Chain A
Amino acid sequence: MATLISEIDCSQHTTREINQAIKRAAADGVPDVRLTNPAARHCLAVAVMSPTRIVFDGPVGWYCGGMCDGAEIVVNGNCGWSVGENLMSGSIAVHGNGGSSAGATIRGGRVFIEGDTGARTGIAMKGGIVVVGGSVGYMSGFMMQRGTMIVCGDAGDGIGDSMYEGTVYVGGTIHALGADCVESELGGDDRALLESELGANDIDSGGYDWKKLVSGRKLWNFSKHEYDAWRAAL
């Protein structure tokens, strides 16, 4: 019979052993897996395909929670690059700062980073929600295809560059919009979404000057009459 909680001391195991133990626990229906001493190790909790809660007490390295489908991951610490890369469903919450490419290409689910993240946050998102409590770096939301990214702090240069679809909300200063990224009017539905999504992480959406960014759609199909729009995109 499955135990209610599984505890793993990462310092005693290889990465493969840790991930196999997580997957075994998930397959056995263990609802809670707690891991200590992750020591910023890369590739932890990758491709976990069951709805298990996985908690890391300490910092994790690159690709934590990458390719997961249904798991609920909590990181009590900072994380490296590409946290939650290609997430299908489920959630990842990082109570610290993230590296670059946080939430890259996610298709579903929710990635939350309490602090700041680096360049290319939410790059090529294909769905899902990325929420950043702090600021994001250069080229975040690049080639976004679908989904929603909420940035409470500032956005570095090139936010939303070449996005096809999807929505980016920025609560702080936008250093520069990327190619074909335009500001759109913020409506009641947007405010309701912000209140709901940020409320889930105990953040009051009322304290920000929200800007809504969407695709200008000028780069969808080439037009020689819009060459100025294409100059940077080609």
Chain B
Amino acid sequence: MSDFIPRGEDGHVHQKLWVWSPETIDDIQTKAELGRYTNRGLGTTRRTPHFQDLTFVPCTLSRVPLEGYREACDTSVEIGARHGAKPIRLATPITIAGMSYGALSRNAKQALGTAATRVGISTTTGDGGMLDLEREASDQLVYQVLPSRYGFNPHHLRMANAAEIVIGQGAKPGTGGVLLGAKVSPIIAEARTLPPGVDQRSPCRHPDFVGPDDLQIKIEELREATDGAIPIYIKIGACRVADDVKLACKAGADVIVMDGLEGGTGASPDSLMDHTGIPTMAALVEAVAALREMELEGVVNLIISGGIRNGVDAAKALALGADAVSIGTAAMIALGCNKPVYIEDYERMGTEPGACHHCHTGLCPVGITTQDEDLIARLPVDEAADHVTGFLNSMTQEMQMFARACGKNDVHDLEPEDMRAMTIEASAITGIPLVGTDFAFRPESFADAIMRAMTAQTTNGHSDQKVRH
């Protein structure tokens, strides 16, 4: 019976409790069985203030749009020229985020590099070092310098087009990731100088420096190692964003990659993914304000990452002041992550296409987050690269579409004024007026409103004293 209402013997309706929801009950019983916290891949489960909460207000009578499908709209940008290094040239303001060879299969890494090259953007290595196939596939490769230094090789650094010092990740700032034993195959173990099958728990602190003053010397070391030829990026998991941006600028960063709470991971404790960090949109606003305060906007480039799903999110990020966006999870999904094929393999893991976040198991049915040869073979490199290329092109088209509609012939000319907030929360975070009002819910806006009201009262002859009697 579809209208059956379960009742107990006492006649009361049996309801699911909010605190002790089925998910909470499952979580407790899983931890009781495992004897530890739970790990999983992908990213946070919680709803965050997001670019979704903003809407564009394109040209109408008050402004003139560009022809949507015809007029030129530039998307290119140069990144990392602050200290005279050869900059990264992005044909479209997107980069592929650092994802490790180990968390990802070699086919996935090669396909991402191939797609990035076709589109004219950069891709990034990850924990575990550089894969030769990845270097060959990628015209512009950013080499990560991570706390673990797994697979770090100065010869590879000198082959890179930029270096990225990873201070943290948005999915788990302040904590290293994990690569569970199932994925530490003999090849991956050798690349990382680890015993095969070990549960690898990456460190969060760098081995050779600690604080921001030290970071300045580390950057100098990397510049000396590369003869100053390549830009130095600093990647930060969004927490105390303004302070961190200022410290990274002072340390000498050419580029800051700010990774928000919605950022992805191959495997991490899920409590960290849901309960640490600052959402991407909020982090972006804070980072731009910090750069502006230091008068370094446009000098130190800002790449924003974490939960960027499409060209619309990217266009909104550019409008808020990012120079480019970085995508990781979206690129994986374009490769075929969560695709409805090999359904029985999803079911074997207790999940289904569209809801799989079992990257940590190494059993990825579509060959992306696995080191199993049979599963890797399910991801043909060319076909996967075609899909990522298609997705990247769609992102570019979407960014151009919104820029043209807002009357801009360069996607980087999008600005906050081109948008309105759909929620009070988004308005308070971004300082963009709430739809239907001309009011931004920021502390300074309230102060201005009060001052205006008081001034109006005084002008109209209604002094405080008169009002009070």
* B197 with A221: CB separation less than 8 A: yes
A110 at the binding interface (Cβ < 8 Å)? no
Give residues of chain A (201-234) contacting chain B, Cβ–Cβ below 8 Å: 220-222, 224-225, 227, 230, 234
Residues facing B in A1-52 (CB within 8 A) are 15-16, 19-20, 42-43, 46-47, 49
A227 to B225, CA, bound (A): 43
User: Among the listed stretches B109-117, B148-156, B285-293, which one makes contact with chain A, having 4 or more residues with CB under 8 Å of it?
Assistant: B148-156
Which residues on A sit within 8 Å (CB–CB) of B383? none
Residues of B close to A220: CB separation below 8 A: 181, 195, 197-199
- Looking at A82-90, A169-177, A188-196, the stretch in contact with chain B turns out to be A82-90
- The reply to whether the CB of B208 lies closer than 8 angstroms to some CB of chain A is yes
Task: Write out the residue numbers on chain B whose beta carbons fall within 8 Å of the beta carbon of A221.
Answer: 181, 197-199
Minimal Cβ-Cβ distance residue in B for A19: B224
- Which residues 201-240 in B have Cβ within 8 Å of A in the complex? 203, 207-209, 214, 217-218, 220-221, 223-228
Report the bound CA distance from A234 to B37 in whole Å.
Answer: 10
Q: Which residues of B142-173 have CB atoms within 8 Å of chain A's CB atoms?
A: 148-149, 152-155, 157-158
Min Cβ gap B156→A in Å is 11
0/1 string, A95-127, CB within 8 A of B gives 1: 000000100110100000000000010011011
Please, what's the 1-or-0 string for A111-149, where 1 marks a CB less than 8 Å from any CB in chain B?
A: 000000000100110110000000000000011011000
- Asked whether A62 is an interface residue with its Cβ less than 8 Å from the other chain, the reply is yes
Residues of B near A234 (CB, < 8 A) are 36-37
- Given the known interface contacts A15-B220, A19-B224, A63-B208, the answer about A222 and B199 at a Cβ–Cβ threshold of 8 Å is yes
Within the assembled complex, what's the spacing in Å between the Cα atoms of A1 and B36? Answer: 66
Given A15-B220, A67-B157, A69-B154 in contact, is the A164-B198 Cβ separation under 8 Å?
yes
- Judge whether A66 is part of the interface by a CB distance below 8 angstroms: yes
Nearest-neighbour CB distance to chain A for B181, whole angstroms, equals 6
Provided the pairs A81-B209, A221-B181 are in contact, do residues A63 and B155 lie with their beta carbons within 8 angstroms? no
Query: Closest Cβ of chain A: how far from B206's Cβ, in Å?
Result: 9
B225 and A123 within 8 A (CB): no
- Asked if A165 is at the interface (CB within 8 A of a chain B CB), the reply is yes
Residue on A with the closest CB to B35?
Answer: A224
With A164-B198, A221-B198, A222-B199 known as contacts, the answer to whether A105 contacts B224 (CB < 8 A) is no
Q: Is the interface of A mostly helix, strand, loop or mixed?
A: loop
> Smallest distance from the beta carbon of A121 to chain B beta carbons, Å?
11
Interface residues on B, range: 35 or more
* A142-B204 Cα distance, complex, nearest whole Å: 13
Chain B hits for A66, CB < 8 A:
208, 221, 225
With a cutoff of 8 Å between Cβ atoms, the chain B residues found around residue A143 in the complex are: 203
In-complex Cβ contact of A63 among B199, B203, B217, B226 (8 A): B217
Alpha-carbon distance A218/B105, docked complex (angstroms): 28
Closest CB-CB distance, B192 to chain A, in whole Å? 8
Q: B194–A145 contact, CB under 8 A?
A: yes
**Counting chain A CB atoms within 10 Å of each CB, which of B195, B208, B218, B220 scores highest?**
B208
Q: Which residue of A lies closest to B145 (CB)?
A: A86
- Is there an interface contact between B207 and A47, defined as CB atoms closer than 8 Å? no
Return chain B residues, CB-CB under 8 Å to A67.
154, 157, 221, 225
Produce 1/0 per residue, A72-86, CB < 8 A to B: 000000000110011
User: Given the complex of chains A and B, what is the CA–CA distance between A31 and B18 in angstroms?
Assistant: 74
**A residues adjacent to B (C-beta < 8 A):** 15-16, 19-20, 42-43, 46-47, 49, 61-63, 66-69, 81-82, 85-86, 88, 101, 104-105, 107, 120, 123-124, 126-127, 142-143, 145-146, 164-165, 220-222, 224-225, 227, 230, 234
For the complex of A and B, the 10 pairs showing the least CB-CB separation, nearest first, are A224-B35, A47-B225, A67-B154, A82-B208, A126-B193, A46-B224, A104-B207, A63-B221, A123-B207, A104-B208
User: What are 13 sample pairs from A and B whose C-beta atoms fall under 8 A apart?
Assistant: A15-B224, A19-B224, A43-B221, A43-B224, A63-B208, A66-B221, A67-B154, A69-B155, A81-B209, A107-B193, A124-B148, A220-B198, A220-B199
